[in-house]
Structure 1
Amino acid sequence: MSQPKVELLDKVRHKNVKLDTSTMDIPENHVNASFVVVNELSNLVHEYPIFITKNPTTGQFQLTAILGLKSGINLYLSGKEWRAKYLPLEILRRPFSAMMEKEDLSAGRIALDLNHPMVNESEGQSIFTETGDATPFLERIQNTFAQLMSGSKRTEAILNLAAEHNLIHAINLTIDLANGEKTAINGLYAVDTEALNKLTGEALEACHKAGVLEVCHLLLSSGAHIEKLIQWHDESQK
């Protein structure tokens, strides 16, 4: 694989750049987890198991969709296709990235790896029009980053409040596979249902108003999709 060549998008320099979006089988998608944010939860919980994890850099709680049972294996990838109707925003934004402004971490510009396998000048989605304006495709990418940035802040606030009320606890997720093998996904946290059911008075009202209760119930409902991943994994081994 060639070395990345990341550049901030420029309507002159990158006027002929296109993105081949015909396949989801790109290097970045060969992962077994994806960061997600609260504003996409209502769609994602219908298709993904979602847990709480900790950001390895900041230590802050975050939301993570589990895509596979082993590192580097994405069970939602089937050839070039993605086996779900809804994709996490973090998946949708690829292969673009955000270059944050040092003075203002809430602001940033979109960058692209020109050596990425999706990037070419002959086929796929154009980024800029002939007049240098953003194409509808690029506008969707810009909106994806806007949702990720606003959603990240809201997610952090909701999970911090949940933690303050002891609604988050560490779990051990060990899975028995059909071939007799056991696999474990480490570093996961989940909603403490006992603590959730004991919320009363001002604490209950505060969590309701902040959206904590809704997020907790969505996360709890998503756990059933682990069974689907086990089935997909077992089928892939036959």
Structure 2
Amino acid sequence: MSNIVLLNNIEHKNLKVVPVRGKEYGDDDMCVPTCPKEFRSLQAQYPIVFGKNEKTGDYTPLALLGLQEGENLFIENGEWKARYIPLCAECKPFYIGKQSQRDLTASQNWVIHVDLDSPKVSTSEGISLFKEHGGNSEFLMRISKVLGLVQEGVAEVKPFIDLLVEFDLLEPFSAEMTLKNNQQHSLVGFYTINEEKLASLSVNALKKLHDSGFLFDIYMQLASLSQIAALIERKNNLI
């Protein structure tokens, strides 16, 4: 369960966030949402795939962190073992959202929310969100910056997906693997970009993708699939 509320420095003046990473702190996501803006940074460490909402048909780009539900292979000894942490993982347990419409002004559309039920949230241990005599802590200012990047990235997702759908570039993706203990494992339920269809697009179609600014991100997604082997290696190291 979640209890997501608007963060403020009066009700939450004593709120802290535990910086330790671990399953017990809610860091056990198999994958997290991402956006084209992140693909360059992600592709060097994480496979990027697409999830599909079977009810709406909407696709979402995802950074794969594990090979099965409830598994994040980048968490080790309370730390995230990678040079880059996906934005949607870094900002937990914070979210960006709108205030109620009656409170809005043109400069206050987006505000920080926090999940008070997150195991990362505490009043007795961790990093303070607010300074003792007022003002945001450096930690909260960093989170605010990350959430701003998330907001910008979310705006990219629909036009990016719309182009992939327009040119019928998405296809189901699966991977079969044998772990070092001879256990068979399947990675299913995701989508990727069809490289053959991409290569066969017309000059006009490629120009449209190029002009959109998303052609580079498409190639970053395809390049990221080489990181599946690295995920398997991480999994084998835990066996």
What's the TM-score, normalizing by structure 1? 0.87
Over 3 Å counting, the alpha-carbon distance change for 1:29 and 1:22 in structure 2 is: closer
Q: CA deviation at 1:58?
A: 4.2
Contact residue 17 and residue 121 of structure 1 kept, 8 A: yes
Q: 1: CA distance between counterparts of 2:214 and 2:96?
A: 28
2:171 maps to amino acid: H
CA distance in 2, matches of 1:156, 1:39: 13
Q: 1:165 is matched with which residue?
A: 167
Q: Is the 8 A contact 2:179 2:236 kept in 1?
A: yes
> Structure 1 regions of 5+ residues with no counterpart?
none
1: CA distance between counterparts of 2:9 and 2:179?
50
Deviation of 1:167 after TM superposition, in Å, equals 1.7
Counterpart amino acid of 1:212?
A: F
Separation in 2, partners of 1:162, 1:236: 36
Match for residue 110 of structure 1 among 99, 106, 112 = 112
Equivalent residues of 2:173, 2:191 under 8 A apart: yes
Residue in 1 that maps onto 2:40: 42
Q: Give a deviation string over 1:61-105, Cα, whole Å, max 9, x none.
A: 11111111111111111121112110011111111234445759x
Alpha-carbon distance change, 55 to 18 in structure 1, aligned in 2, over 3 angstroms: same
Out of 72, 83, 92, the position equivalent to 1:85 is 83
Q: How far apart, CA to CA, are the structure 2 residues paired with 1:160 and 1:125?
A: 40
User: Which residue does 1:188 correspond to in 2?
Assistant: 190
Contact 1:19 1:120 in 2 (8 A): yes
Distance in 2, matches of 1:48 and 1:213, equals 19
> Match for residue 54 of structure 1?
52
**Distance (whole Å) between structure 1 residues aligned to residue 97 and residue 11 of structure 2:** 17
| Contact kept in structure 1, 2:26 and 2:118, CA below 8 Å | no
Q: Deviations over 1:166-185 (max 9, x none)?
A: 22211222222222222222
Aligned partners of 2:65, 2:190: CA distance in 1, in Å? Answer: 14
Distance (Å, rounded) in 1 between the aligned partners of 2:55 and 2:123: 36
* Contact 1:95–1:112 (CA under 8 A) maintained in structure 2: yes
Distance in 1 (CA, whole Å) between partners of 2:186 and 2:63 is 15
Aligned length: 234
1:46 is displaced (CA, Å) by 0.6
Aligned positions of 1:1-238 closer than 5 A = 4-55=2-53, 58-101=56-99, 107-237=109-239
Identity score, percent? 29
Q: Which moved more, 1:93-102 or 1:43-52?
A: 93-102
Rounded to whole Å, the distance in 2 between the matches of 1:118 and 1:111 is 14
| Distance in structure 2 (CA, Å) of the matches to 1:4 and 1:211 | 36
> What secondary structure does 1:190 align onto?
strand
Deviations 1:106-151 (A, max 9, x none): 9443222334333233443221223432222212212222211221
Deviates more, 1:55-64 or 1:195-204: 55-64
C-alpha distance 49-24 of structure 1, shift in aligned 2 (>3 A) = same
Alpha-carbon separation, structure 1, partners of 2:54 and 2:17: 31
Q: Tell me if structure 2 keeps the 8 A contact 1:175–1:182.
A: yes
Q: TM-score w.r.t. structure 2 length?
A: 0.87
**C-alpha deviation, 1:195, in angstroms:** 1.2
Contact 1:162/1:207, CA 8 A, preserved across alignment: no
Which residue identity is paired with 1:11? Answer: N
- Which SS does the other structure have where 2:162 is aligned? helix
Letter in 2 for 1:40: E
